[in-house]
C-alpha cells in the first residue's frame, strides 16, 4: 500500500484529523437530539480525502458514521437506523472520495503543467539552438514554398547571393537558382525527394557560380515545402581545372620528351649514315644529299631542345589513406562487372614520396587494364598487395586474366592493341620515374602482375615511434 501522505508532516496531519473528529463527536454528544451535529464530520473527512488514500478515507468515513450514530441522540431501529447509517456512510464516503479525486486530479494537473512547461522550455531551447546553428552555418540554407517563393534564408544564403540580411524572404528562388525552382514539390506517387544536384547559380550582381545543392521536399498544413542547403563550389572547380591542366601539361612534356628521345636516336643513326656516305665523291657535292644532311641536323636540333619539366608535387603520402581513396573510385566499376577485389596492405606500411595525382593516375590505368582483361570472366578477380623492403615499397597489382603475350613491348609507346594506344603503361612508368619510382612487369602463373616501386619518406616517423 502506498504511503498515506507526505511523510514529513504526517504526525501533524494525523493529530489535526483526530482532533477534529474528537471535537465533532464531543459537540454532537453535548448537543440535544433535536439538533443533529453529524454534518460536522464532513470537515475532517474532507481533510482526510485531501491527504489520505481511498481506503483510509473509507475507513474514516465509516468511523465518523458510527460516532454520529452513537452521539446524535436519535432512537435507533432497524428500518430507520439502518437507513440513517447507510446515508451517513454514503455521504461521508462520497464526500471523502470526491475530495480525494479532486486532489489527485489537481496533483496530476500540476504535474502535467510542470511537464508541459519543461517541454515548452526544452522546445524553445531546441529551437534557439537550431536557429543559432542555421544562422551560424557556413552552408547556405533556404526553404521554399510551392510557388517558388523563399520563406526562410540564413545569413550565409544572403552573402552567397550578394544580398543584405533579410532581403531574400518573399522573393523568388528562380532568378538565383533556376534549376532548384524546377524541382517538383512532390513525386507523382506522393513520395518526397531527398537528393543532391549540381547546378549553376546567379548572384544579385549577375555573377554566375557553380553550386552543390542538397535538398528535400516535405508537406505541411500550409502546403508542400522544399528545404535546400547550397554550397558554392566555384573555387573547387577552378582548382580542379587548374590541377587537371597542369597534369595535362606535365604528361604532355613527358610524352614529347619521349618522342624527342626516339627522334634523336633516329637522327643520330641517320647522321652516321650521312657522314659515311659523304666520303663518296659522287654524293659529297650533290645538292639533294646536302639538303638531306641539313634537314637531318635541323630535326636533330629540334629533338634536342630541352623542355623545362614541371616539378611534380612530391609529398609524403600515407598509402592506407591513398588506397582508401582508390577503393572509393574503383569499387562501383568492379562491382558492376562482378569482379572480386582483394586488398592486402600491412598495418606498418611506411609513407612514400610521390605526386598524389600522378600516383592515382598510375593505379587507375593499371586497374583499367586489368578490368578490360578480365571482363566477362566468371571468376574475375583483381588484387593489390604491398610490402616494404630496404627503403622501398613494392605494390603488386594483379589479375587472373589471360596475361601478356609479349612483355617486351609493354612499355613502348604506340605499340598498343586495337582497343588501346599503348601510351598508358609508358606514361605511367614515366610519371613514376619523375619522383624516383618505377613500374615493371613480372611473369605470374596466371594473369598479369605489375609492380609499382616507390621510395619511402625518410623523414616520416614510423608507426610506433614518437
Looking up cell 549540381 gives 198
Q: Where are the domains of the chain?
A: 7-112, 140-232, 236-303, 314-455
Dist. CA 278–CA 256, nearest whole Å: 31
CA-based nearest residue to 304, from 250, 257, 374, 355: 257
Query: What pLDDT, on the 0 to 100 scale, is given for residue 466?
Result: 43
Q: What is the DSSP string of 297-329?
A: HHHHHHHTPPP-PPPP-EEEE-HHHHHHHHHHH
Tens place of pLDDT per residue across the chain (466 aa): 344 444 456 667 777 777 887 777 777 677 765 566 667 777 788 887 777 777 877 887 888 877 777 766 566 666 766 777 777 778 778 888 888 888 888 888 999 999 999 999 999 999 888 888 888 889 999 999 988 999 999 999 999 999 998 899 999 999 999 988 888 866 556 677 888 998 899 999 888 888 999 999 888 888 889 999 999 988 887 777 667 766 666 666 666 766 676 677 777 777 777 667 776 666 666 666 667 777 777 666 665 655 444 455 788 999 999 998 888 888 888 888 888 989 888 888 899 999 888 898 899 889 988 988 898 888 899 999 999 988 899 999 999 988 888 887 787 765 655 455 567 788 888 888 888 999 999 988 888 999 999 999 888 775 544 4
Query: What pLDDT, on the 0 to 100 scale, is given for residue 272?
Result: 72
φ/ψ of 307, rounded to 5, equals: -85, 135
Query: What pLDDT, on the 0 to 100 scale, is given for residue 114?
Result: 93
CA-based nearest residue to 319, from 116, 174, 466, 457: 457
Query: What pLDDT, on the 0 to 100 scale, is given for residue 47?
Result: 80
Q: Are 448 and 404 in contact (CB under 8 A)?
A: yes
Looking up cell 657522314 gives 275
Dist. CA 436–CA 312, nearest whole Å: 11
Query: What pLDDT, on the 0 to 100 scale, is given for residue 214?
Result: 93
Per-residue CA distances from 122 to 116, 162, 199 (Å): 10, 35, 38
Query: What pLDDT, on the 0 to 100 scale, is given for residue 144?
Result: 93
| Residue 382 CB burial class (10 angstroms; 0-12, 13-18, ≥19) | buried
Per-residue CA distances from 426 to 229, 382, 411 (Å): 44, 21, 5
Query: What pLDDT, on the 0 to 100 scale, is given for residue 398?
Result: 93
Q: What is the DSSP string of 174-219?
A: TTT-HHHHTS-SS-TTSPPPEEEEEEEEE-TTS-EEEEEEEEEEEE
Query: What pLDDT, on the 0 to 100 scale, is given for residue 72?
Result: 65
The strand pair at 392-399 and 449-455 is best described as antiparallel
CATH number for the domain formed by residue range(s) 140-232: 3.30.450.20
Give the CA-trace dihedral at 8, 11, 17, 20, to 10 degrees.
Answer: -130
Domain 314-455 has CATH 1.20.1260.10: no
Query: What pLDDT, on the 0 to 100 scale, is given for residue 288?
Result: 67
Query: What pLDDT, on the 0 to 100 scale, is given for residue 231?
Result: 93
Query: What pLDDT, on the 0 to 100 scale, is given for residue 2?
Result: 42
Query: What pLDDT, on the 0 to 100 scale, is given for residue 357?
Result: 84
How many Å is the maximal CA-CA distance in the chain?
A: 169
Dist. CA 53–CA 10, nearest whole Å: 13
Dist. CA 326–CA 321, nearest whole Å: 9
Query: What pLDDT, on the 0 to 100 scale, is given for residue 163?
Result: 92
CB within 8 A of 396, min separation 6: which ones? Answer: 383, 384, 385, 386, 449, 450, 451, 452
Dist. CA 282–CA 285, nearest whole Å: 7
Query: What pLDDT, on the 0 to 100 scale, is given for residue 34?
Result: 56
Amino acid at each position: 500500500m502506498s504511503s498515506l501522505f507526505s511523510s514529513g508532516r504526517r504526525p501533524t496531519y494525523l493529530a489535526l484529523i483526530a482532533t477534529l473528529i474528537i471535537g465533532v463527536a464531543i459537540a454532537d454528544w453535548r448537543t440535544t437530539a433535536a439538533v443533529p451535529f453529524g454534518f460536522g464530520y464532513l470537515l475532517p473527512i474532507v481533510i482526510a480525502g485531501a491527504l489520505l488514500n481511498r481506503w483510509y478515507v473509507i475507513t474514516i468515513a465509516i468511523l465518523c458514521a458510527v460516532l454520529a450514530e452513537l452521539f446524535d441522540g436519535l432512537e435507533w431501529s432497524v428500518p430507520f437506523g439502518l437507513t440513517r447509517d447507510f446515508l451517513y456512510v454514503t455521504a461521508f464516503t462520497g464526500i471523502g472520495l470526491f475530495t480525494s479525486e479532486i486532489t489527485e486530479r489537481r496533483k496530476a494537473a500540476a504535474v502535467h503543467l510542470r511537464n508541459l512547461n519543461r517541454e515548452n522550455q526544452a522546445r524553445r531551447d531546441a529551437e534557439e539552438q537550431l536557429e543559432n546553428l542555421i544562422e551560424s552555418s557556413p552552408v547556405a540554407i533556404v526553404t521554399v514554398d510551392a510557388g517558388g517563393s523563399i520563406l526562410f534564408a540564413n545569413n550565409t544564403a544572403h552573402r552567397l547571393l550578394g544580398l543584405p540580411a533579410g532581403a531574400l524572404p518573399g522573393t523568388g528562388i528562380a532568378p538565383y537558382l533556376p534549376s532548384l525552382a524546377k524541382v517538383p514539390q512532390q513525386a507523382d506517387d506522393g513520395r518526397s525527394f531527398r537528393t543532391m544536384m549540381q547546378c549553376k547559380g546567379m548572384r544579385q550582381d549577375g555573377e554566375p557560380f557553380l553550386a552543390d545543392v542538397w535538398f528535400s521536399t516535405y508537406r505541411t498544413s500550409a502546403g508542400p515545402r522544399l528545404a535546400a542547403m547550397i554550397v558554392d563550389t566555384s573555387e573547387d572547380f577552378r582548382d580542379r581545372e587548374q590541377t587537371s591542366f597542369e597534369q595535362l601539361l606535365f604528361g604532355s612534356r613527358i610524352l614529347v620528351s619521349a618522342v624527342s628521345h626516339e627522334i634523336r636516336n633516329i637522327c643520330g643513326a641517320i647522321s652516321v649514315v650521312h657522314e659515311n656516305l659523304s666520303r663518296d665523291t659522287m654524293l659529297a657535292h650533290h645538292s639533294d644529299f646536302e639538303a638531306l644532311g641539313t634537314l637531318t641536323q635541323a630535326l636533330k636540333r629540334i629533338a634536342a631542345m630541352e623542355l623545362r619539366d614541371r616539378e611534380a608535387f612530391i609529398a609524403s603520402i600515407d598509402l592506407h589513406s591513398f588506397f582508401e581513396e582508390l577503393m572509393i573510385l574503383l569499387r562501383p566499376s568492379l562491382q558492376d562487372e562482378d569482379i572480386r577485389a582483394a586488398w592486402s596492405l600491412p598495418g606498418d606500411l611506411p609513407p612514400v614520396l610521390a605526386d598524389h595525382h600522378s600516383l592515382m593516375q598510375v593505379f587507375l590505368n593499371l586497374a583499367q587494364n586489368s578490368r578490360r582483361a578480365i571482363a566477362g570472366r566468371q571468376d574475375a578477380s583483381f588484387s593489390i598487395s604491398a610490402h616494404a623492403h630496404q627503403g622501398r615499397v613494392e605494390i603488386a597489382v594483379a589479375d587472373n586474366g589471360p596475361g601478356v603475350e609479349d612483355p617486351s613491348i609493354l612499355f613502348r609507346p604506340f605499340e598498343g592493341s586495337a582497343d588501346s594506344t599503348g601510351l598508358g603503361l609508358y606514361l605511367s612508368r614515366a610519371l613514376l620515374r619523375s619522383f624516383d619510382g618505377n613500374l615493371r612487369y613480372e611473369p605470374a602463373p596466371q594473369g598479369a602482375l605489375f609492380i609499382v616501386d616507390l621510395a619511402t619518406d625518410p623523414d616520416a616517423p614510423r608507426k610506433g615511434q614518437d
